[in-house]
Amino acid sequence: MELQPGGRRARTGAGQAGAGQAGVRQAGAPLARVTLQDVADQAGVSLSTASRVVNEGSRRVGPHLADRVTKAVADLGYMANLQARAVATGQSTMMGVIVHDIADPYFSSIAAGLIEVSHAGGLLAIVSSTAAGGAGELEYVSLMRAQRARSVVLVGSRSADTAATAALRAEVGAFTRDGGRAVCVGQDLLGIDTILPGNAEGARALAGALVALGHREFAVLAGPDGLVTAVDRVAGFEAGLAAWSVSLSPRRVIHGAFTRDGGYQAMSAILAAGGTRPDCVFAVNDVMAVGALARLRADGLAVPGDIAVAGFDDITTLRDIYPPLTTVRLPLKQMGEMAASLVLQEADQPRVIPVPGEVILRDSTLPRPGRG
Amino acid sequence: MELQPGGRRARTGAGQAGAGQAGVRQAGAPLARVTLQDVADQAGVSLSTASRVVNEGSRRVGPHLADRVTKAVADLGYMANLQARAVATGQSTMMGVIVHDIADPYFSSIAAGLIEVSHAGGLLAIVSSTAAGGAGELEYVSLMRAQRARSVVLVGSRSADTAATAALRAEVGAFTRDGGRAVCVGQDLLGIDTILPGNAEGARALAGALVALGHREFAVLAGPDGLVTAVDRVAGFEAGLAAWSVSLSPRRVIHGAFTRDGGYQAMSAILAAGGTRPDCVFAVNDVMAVGALARLRADGLAVPGDIAVAGFDDITTLRDIYPPLTTVRLPLKQMGEMAASLVLQEADQPRVIPVPGEVILRDSTLPRPGRG
DNA sequence: CGATGCGTGGAAAGGGCTTTCCCAGATTAG
DNA sequence: CTAATCTGGGAAAGCCCTTTCCACGCATCG
């Protein structure tokens, strides 16, 4: 059963069980890797003819020979070597998907949509998970270039570090110049097709809604300040408050990781800061909001009784938490699907597709009694 | 900037901007896809020498020529074609990861561990998401065989349908016979290396713990009856109850999808069944438990006051839900890491690595007053 | 000092496929 | 009835690499 490394191995000829068939197999019958040449030999036709039958459509082959080839393929359990095909045609069907953290529901939802549509479109998704903002994205784009992937999708916030973004942009440029398609789900900073979630607008609308509910003293769990998504959401929220003449002290904007623990710690910092407790806390994503809720519960504070909490994203898995979380819904899975569509359509020049967020008011921000 | 399809294109020779460098690029300078031959030409050495320099270690090359090649690589922005290399060497670095639903945190956690370790081991993960139990897994294994992937990891419950499992086993057999490594995270039904979560044992221990807390009238939200994982968890739970002489009516075992909605509906069915309401509901995974909690809340039933709820998996994102959910913890990310390790180590014969679950008691199953 | 050995370079033979080119036979047109 | 066009088949040239295999120059050695 061991693989013989080099050289030509003896064929076992006909009479092998077809692959994919359930059933008995003689142990100890070494099965060499079967190539198209083997199929051609077995069918008694030339390599070219065999190739034409396998790639139906390239040119017609007489039904007689075609049948012989088809049978040989089945008998031998032949399976085309896609790598070799890719080399020969210069075309691959791979689509690289680069996300910041596949275990984060934000990314896995987008990835799910992406995988589904791209697979339907005949592309094979390669999902890579890499920390945000680091050199990982650049490395992966470069790897995709080496793999001659047909396309690459960068999912997640761009970095606020302009040098890093420029380097990534250059690498992506090299990729597209080699004929690949590149799409980003995030911000339009790479000069490629972009799915642009309405982070600022959504946060702005949320701020308005919260003010309308009677909240006045806000705090923000702001996420990493190196990520444009976080920055945009905070800025949008501030703008929304300003539009209603509600002020937000910079001391009440606490940065932290885009994670549950990041939210927990930022919430701690706000509680520890002293002064009057805020009415309402805006966590720039749902996962951080969950951390904040945990922190508040640890202090015995009721939500929304003592303090209101809002998030962003409307993560599916968190739609049933208690108290139900006010948030801004992004159609994550659809965003992945849209990105895949962009990949599949060629376009002359970069398109930017905005995706609006929708404010979803739930119990975690019930109106402040006596005000709203 | 368009890709010229066939034929040999004129080289722009030296003086091109190195790829990967940030900075200016002349628009309209068409950059042909640069091959190793171009590098060799530019450096004035043979193809073989260039290859040897690029694959450092294969054989020594004099420093003088080596430097020339290195410079040519940089100047031209050369990037090896990994597909061609794979064809030439017969070795690829791809690892196929097949999960049931990447948007499900159970799978995305495992995938995260898998991706991390495999990338560190020099493998490129290809994540495919496909519905459980269907023909998707089989198709994907076959695709991985066509891609000449080095290994494939099947994550998720095996199907209870023995015919489907046999077919999959045959396809996996074809894959390993071609020299690939196959690993399963689930049940040991494919004759390959397996990470085996202690589903039955964990559920059994959980049952014991719940009985010890004073619960007596149980119901089970049982998951799909076509998946071995669900079946095992239910069977383990029943066995645990039996060990404590607590009976469970089959009418109280309701099947449903492994999703939030599946849990919600199964819970509905139990509430609608009439008769005495159960003390405690065991949902075979956390996601279903969340659905059950939502359903109970919709009826105004308090957890654990009116009814206790337990889940399985200890999904990270759900560790902060309220009330905190009693569950059986599986080290999901580690399971992914272990699977990747199995992939990386060759082994003579299939290994089966059991992973015990740990019962985590939280508030959702607080003791029944006056009994426990 | 001729016979070994080694270190280094290149030519060439793969690896498994697609696709161009060419050719013989079968149709059709004029 | 010949010329012009299809057809379907095969040989062979590519695709972009890696890895023999071979050749050459030079230091070693008895």
Residue B337 CA: distances (Å) to CA of A97, A229, B344: 21, 30, 11
Tokens of B272: 């609608």
B173 against A58, higher pLDDT: B173
Q: Which tens digits make up the pLDDT trace of A269-296?
A: 999 988 899 999 999 999 999 999 999 9
Is B26 a residue whose pLDDT tops 70?
Answer: no
| Residue reference for tokens 């606020």 | A160
Instruction: State the DSSP code for B21.
Output: -
- What would the mean pLDDT of A136-165 be, rounded to a whole number? 94
Q: Are A81 and B20 within 8 A, CB to CB?
A: no
Is B73 a residue whose pLDDT tops 90?
Answer: yes
Does residue B86 sit at the A interface (CB-CB below 8 Å)? yes
Query: In angstroms, what separates the C-alpha of B195 from chain A's closest C-alpha?
Result: 19
Does residue B136 sit at the A interface (CB-CB below 8 Å)? no
Q: Which tens digits make up the pLDDT trace of B83-129?
A: 999 999 988 999 999 999 999 999 999 999 999 999 889 898 988 88
Rounded CA-CA distance B221/B288 in Å is 8
Q: Are B321 and A316 within 8 A, CB to CB?
A: no
pTM of the model: 0.88
Query: In angstroms, what separates the C-alpha of B311 from chain A's closest C-alpha?
Result: 15
**B9 CA → C15 C1’, Å:** 25
The answer to whether A292 and A264 have CB atoms below 8 angstroms apart is yes
SS3 at position A354: strand
> Which of B198, B200, B203, B187 minimizes the C-alpha distance to B283?
B203
Supply the DSSP string of A232-286, one letter for each residue. HHHHHHHHHHHHTT----GGGEE---SSHHHHHHHHHHHHHT-SSPPSEEEESSH
User: A270-280 in b/e burial notation, b at 16+ Cβ within 10 A?
Assistant: bbeeeeeebbb
**A88 CA → C18 C1’, Å:** 6
The nucleotide closest to B39 (CA, C1' atoms):
D16
Rounded CA-CA distance A69/A49 in Å is 8
pLDDT band, residue A31 (cuts 50/70/90): very low
Tokens of A301: 């504070």
Contact flag, residue B4 CB and nucleic strand D, below 7 A? no
Q: Are A148 and B317 within 8 A, CB to CB?
A: no
- What would the mean pLDDT of A128-144 be, rounded to a whole number? 86
Residues 33-52 of A with CB under 7 A from strand D: 45-49
Contact flag, residue B7 CB and nucleic strand D, below 7 A? yes
Contact flag, residue A8 CB and nucleic strand C, below 7 A? yes
Is B13 a residue whose pLDDT tops 90?
Answer: no
The answer to whether B190 and B169 have CB atoms below 8 angstroms apart is yes
In this predicted structure, what is the pLDDT of residue A88?
94
Contact flag, residue B11 CB and nucleic strand D, below 7 A? no
> Which of A34, A231, A179, A203 minimizes the C-alpha distance to B179?
A34
Say how many CA atoms lie within 13 Å of A33 toward its Cβ: 21
H/E stretch holding B328 = strand B327-329
Contact flag, residue B35 CB and nucleic strand D, below 7 A? yes
Does residue A105 sit at the B interface (CB-CB below 8 Å)? yes
- Rounded percentage of chain B residues whose pLDDT exceeds 70: 90
Nearest CA in chain B to A333: B103
Residue A152 CA: distances (Å) to CA of A96, A106, A140, B32: 4, 19, 9, 20
pLDDT band, residue B9 (cuts 50/70/90): very low
Does residue A347 sit at the B interface (CB-CB below 8 Å)? no
- What would the mean pLDDT of A342-354 be, rounded to a whole number? 92
Contact flag, residue A82 CB and nucleic strand C, below 7 A? no
Contact flag, residue A82 CB and nucleic strand D, below 7 A? no
Q: Are A101 and B82 within 8 A, CB to CB?
A: no
Is B151 a residue whose pLDDT tops 60?
Answer: yes
Supply the DSSP string of A154-221, one letter for each residue. EESPPBS-HHHHHHHHHHHHHHHHTT-EEEEES-S-SSSEEEEE-HHHHHHHHHHHHHHTT---EEEE
Is A3 a residue whose pLDDT tops 50?
Answer: no
pLDDT band, residue A133 (cuts 50/70/90): low
* Lowest mean pLDDT across A6-15, A133-142, A265-274: A6-15
Distance from CA of residue A253 to its chain's centroid? 28
Q: Are B86 and A83 within 8 A, CB to CB?
A: yes
Adjacency order of strands within the sheet including B253-254: B253-254, B218-221, B280-283, B308-310
Rounded CA-CA distance A289/A219 in Å is 12
SS3 at position A348: coil
Adjacency order of strands within the sheet including A151-155: A124-129, A94-99, A151-155, A181-185, A193-197, A352-355
SS3 at position B74: helix
SS3 at position B161: coil
Distance from CA of residue A224 to its chain's centroid? 19
Q: Are A20 and B143 within 8 A, CB to CB?
A: no
- Residues of A with Cβ-Cβ distance to B16 under 8 angstroms: none
Rounded CA-CA distance B182/B346 in Å is 10
Residues 179-198 of B with CB under 7 A from strand C: none
Q: Are B260 and A317 within 8 A, CB to CB?
A: yes
Q: Are B82 and A146 within 8 A, CB to CB?
A: yes
Is A12 a residue whose pLDDT tops 50?
Answer: no
- What would the mean pLDDT of B2-12 be, rounded to a whole number? 36
- Residues of A with Cβ-Cβ distance to B311 under 8 angstroms: none
**Count of CB atoms situated within 10 Å of the CB of B158:** 25
